[in-house]
Structure 1
């Protein structure tokens, strides 16, 4: 059964995640998914929709490039309506501070990037403290591992570099460390999540086994650096990791140098085993910080992930939340096609959103199932104020 002794991390076990990427593509065009989904303008309705589906917690983002258009000068007009809407709706938000994007005048490779990001994080923490009541949650930098690969190795997104993934990863870790320390100086109550891909890499041949395992272990490098387990000269320390957020999608398992391993294949590693490994490594509570599938696979994928979370929790792994990500359909990064991955559709002319019934029904089944099981043991006090 579900291990109900797992402390409640958020106001609801299920969270809704709003896609908030702000990076520049290879062609230089900047994306803004909060604007693309109109969530920035429809936040009040979107948060209320979450509550109507039993979700009282979310991941959302602050758009650094809009807020700090001149060094040290902050325009919070894009943030305040969202902060206040969440507070009114009673939705607890994990705020992403850097979701692949940064102000145009900054060189990401420079020491100034770290310094400016820390100052921005501190200013954001002051604003959130003034505008909200509960202890805040932050994700300082989203998916350091993926960003380092996509932007530092493959040149797919900003900064558009190749063969510089290690250098970019370490620069982002420096910035995350500085941001966490700056936020804690402003608000010691603050909680933090990481949000890193959880992957499995299968060797197609015996000769590939060592390379596959080396690649698989790279998934832990960003958090190892942040925690000081590796290269402590960067400034990492154990107290800088709080909640280990893992992002897991249907394509997160593959053969080394080859195709995706399909769910149900004998080489597919159970998600529950992967969650247990992450917990053993860091000894921190876990959050499924992102998970979802596209099209008709949405409900079946949630069913699978919830079953694996249940198995992990039954084995004593403290998984404290699961974020449906993204909770809104959104325009794809590369070509703007509408990716039908959400619980809710893109907004219509009047701001209306349709619900995807199969996913809504599966969500309700999972909420009811977890609720029934929790009735058989004492409920712990939530870990929020």
Structure 2
């Protein structure tokens, strides 16, 4: 009886466990293990809450870094990031404290924190404006903001040339809305024209800041964190105001990425002070560098308005998957899940895993998600009232509490990172690395 090909292979090479298996294939790496810091690693991250808007018509500055004692405990806090097994950190240098005036800077704290980040081998995604500006700039109605902020961004890029990842302005839409439409922060206005003015100035500041960063770091990666929101109106006839609000959530990214603006939104912009010249400037093209679209999603981002006008939370009706798919199909950018948490400490673990299921599912469906962030490292203060009053009530949403004791969600995040920490940003991403290490297959999720 003639021998089959398997007999010949077995005689020559043995019965399985062939030479070469260790370099990939059936015996290759499946993605488990802590992140290595490899450029192809999926970017598991956390952030240190750093908001600093003013309230009380400029009389009170809400600095969450100060309120959480980060300035005094920054070394301990950065060490907790390493303790979790993370390599990536969304981190803010407090613009309002550093930029003392045109051409004048106070780098004392920034230098200490950045040196510690570098010593620990962390990759910072450097956040340069987080809901506030220096007192001498005033507020977001100041048309000089883009020039002053661009100068600051260039100074940061020159001082820390080893930094590649940046978020020039965190949540442009939320900043403009809370400051000029909802009347909560900074200029505290409730006016359509003021909202569009703030939107123009903040987006232009982000673009010009991005230009200056690229001048000193041409390979910069810009992770634009923006809030993914939606209002579900439970009325037979949709109201024009809610319809417009649901469209306005895209405006900051439309301006940032030079995307065609919806006709209704365009008319609203022109009616409220945006000029044709300004619009043409925004539509001239995208800012430089590699652009990643960060989508922030909390269950409270979705709301239901009932026929009687009362509101309730719509947590997970669309969810991060569906909302991010809408943004991805509009802009076609790589995606980063840049913020999520739960104010309910008992439900936080489940919320963490639900968000990760959303990430893995959308990746399986072809959307390139390159990172995930639980925000934030520590509990926050007064975010249940959007920082509108200084009550200093603790929101137990951190991976650690304010005594720096790990919460159950922190232990769960550790488990997630150990299980998935070596998956790649995109399937087979290790293919594009030039390194002396042997090849390895990473799980495709």
* Cα distance change, pair 42–158 in 1 and its aligned pair in 2 (3 A): same
User: Retained in 1: the 8 A contact 2:303–2:315?
Assistant: no
Match runs of 1:267-306 below 5 Å:
268-294=317-343, 295-306=345-356
Are 2:248 and 1:218 aligned?
Answer: yes
Does structure 1 residue 345 correspond to structure 2 residue 375?
Answer: no
Evaluate the alpha carbon distance shift between residue 213 and residue 48 of structure 1 in structure 2; reply closer, same or farther with a 3 A threshold: same
Displacement of 1:14: 1.7
Give yes or no for contact 1:193–1:245 (8 Å, CA) kept in 2.
Answer: yes
CA RMSD of aligned residues (A): 2.6
| 1:192-240 Cα distance to aligned partner (Å, 9 max, x none) | 1111110122120120176544322221110100112243323652345
SS in 2 for 1:155: coil
Greater alpha carbon shift after TM alignment, 45-54 vs 153-162: 45-54
Deviation at 1:259, TM superposition (A): 2.2
2:282 counterpart of 1:234: yes
Range moving further from structure 2, 209-218 or 184-193:
209-218
Of 290, 294, 297, the residue aligned with 1:248 is: 297
For the 8 Å contact 1:10–1:384, the answer to whether it is kept is: no
Residue 331 (structure 1) aligns with: 381
Q: Distance in 2 between matches of 1:383 and 1:14?
A: 19
Alignment match of 1:113 (pick from 145, 167, 174): 145
Identify the match of residue 406 of structure 2 among 355, 375, 383. 355
Residues 137 and 382 (structure 1), Cα distance of their counterparts in 2 relative to 1, 3 Å cut: farther
For the Cα contact (< 8 Å) 1:47–1:85, is it kept in 2?
yes
TM-score for the superposition, normalised by structure 1: 0.87
Alignment-derived partner of residue 215 in structure 2: 185
The aligned residue for residue 164 of structure 2 is: 136
Give the match for residue 148 of structure 1: 176
Aligned: 1:25 with 2:55 = yes
Residue from 417, 438, 445 that aligns with 1:367: 417
Structure 2 counterpart SS, 1:141: coil
- Of 192, 196, 206 in structure 2, the residue corresponding to residue 176 of structure 1 is 206
SS at match of 1:288: strand
Contact 2:42–2:422 (CA<8 Å) still a contact in 1? no
Are the aligned partners of 2:301 and 2:315 in contact in 1 as well (CA < 8 Å)? no
SS at match of 2:237: helix
Q: Tell whether the 8 Å contact from 2:294 to 2:337 is kept in structure 1 after alignment.
A: yes
Q: Cα gap change, 1:102/1:210 in structure 2, threshold over 3 Å: closer, same or farther?
A: closer
Q: Aligned partners of 2:135, 2:179: CA distance in 1, in Å?
A: 16
Counterparts of 2:362 and 2:119 in 1: how far apart (Å)? 34
Which digits, 9 at most, give the CA deviation of each residue in 1:162-188, with x for residues without a partner?
Answer: 212111111111111111111111221
Specify the SS of the correspondent of 2:79.
Answer: helix
SS at match of 2:190: coil
The 1:242/1:210 distance shift into structure 2, 3 A limit, reads same
Aligned to 2:154: 122
8 Å contact from structure 1 (residues 11, 382) kept in 2: no
Counterparts of 1:43 and 1:12, CA distance in 2: 25
Alpha-carbon distance between aligned partners in 1 of 2:180 and 2:199, rounded to the nearest angstrom: 8
- In structure 2, the partner of 1:162 is 190
Contact 2:207 2:287 in 1 (8 A): no
| Partner residue in 2 for 1:350 | none
CA distance in 2, matches of 1:121, 1:32: 20
1:95-121 CA-partner distances (Å, limit 9, x unpaired): 111111111112443332211111011
Q: Give the drift of 1:69.
A: 1.9
Matches within 5 A, 1:57-136: 57-108=88-139, 109-129=141-161, 132=162, 135-136=163-164
